[in-house]
Amino acid sequence: MSNGVGYDAWVAGYSGTASISLSTWSYYPGFNAVGVTISAAQTDGTTRTYSGSYTVNVGAITSASITQTSGGSGSGGGSGSYAPSGLTSVGNGVYASNASTQFALNVQSAAEASGYAYSITAYSPATDKTYTMTQTSTSPCVYTGWGVNQITVQFNS
């Protein structure tokens, strides 16, 4: 698996899943990206929700950027109280991976200033560089981009 998880561990991750429903909610022409929401009903009666996008090339999914937005082992699943899987709270309702606190907050500010445009730029004081971030979800708002590693920043718009 491309995220470093072996096949057996990937399969085991679905052991508590009763059913999955997938809905697409937007298409971004020119980027070949399709926005998705995935609801995974668990065998214990709870539901985990994931949001993000798939990139499609010549009819095949070539990559995905999916973030858990509720359910699972979070601290209650309520808005602002749940740290999405793989992300760390940087404060002010913003979560990030592979990003400094200030950069993540700069991404949120740039998104707001742009009216939540599909593509934004934000400055990182930690690297003294500006990065292009691409919106992969609108609810919650998720932007991804590349620095040394893939950067993900998530917040509610």
Note the pLDDT tens digit of each residue in 79-91: 333 456 567 888 8
pLDDT at position 30: 64
pLDDT in tens, 125-146: 999 999 999 988 877 888 988 8
C-alpha to C-alpha distance for 141 and 110, rounded to whole angstroms? 12
pLDDT in tens, 32-65: 777 787 888 888 888 888 877 788 888 788 887 7
Residue count (the chain): 157
C-alpha to C-alpha distance for 155 and 117, rounded to whole angstroms? 14
Average pLDDT over residues 13-22: 86
Contact 120, 98 (CB under 8 A): no
- Give alpha helix (H) positions in the chain: 7-12, 101-113
Amino acid at 2: S
Instruction: Name the nearest CA neighbour of 80 among 2, 156, 1.
Output: 156
Q: Would you state the structure tokens that stand for residue 146, as one six-digit string?
A: 């590349």
pLDDT at position 129: 92
pLDDT at position 122: 96
Strands 17-28 and 88-91: unpaired
C-alpha to C-alpha distance for 52 and 152, rounded to whole angstroms? 11
Out of 61-65, 70-74, 113-117, 135-139, the most confident range is 113-117
pTM over 0.85: no
Instruction: Report residue 77's pLDDT band, with 50, 70 and 90 as the boundaries.
Output: very low
Prior bond of 140 cis (ω within 30°): yes
Q: Would you state the structure tokens that stand for residue 17, as one six-digit string?
A: 């899943």
Strands 94-97 and 119-124: unpaired
Instruction: Report residue 26's pLDDT band, with 50, 70 and 90 as the boundaries.
Output: low
Burial classification of residue 123, based on how many CB atoms lie within 10 Å of its CB (0-12 exposed, 13-18 middle, 19 or more buried): middle
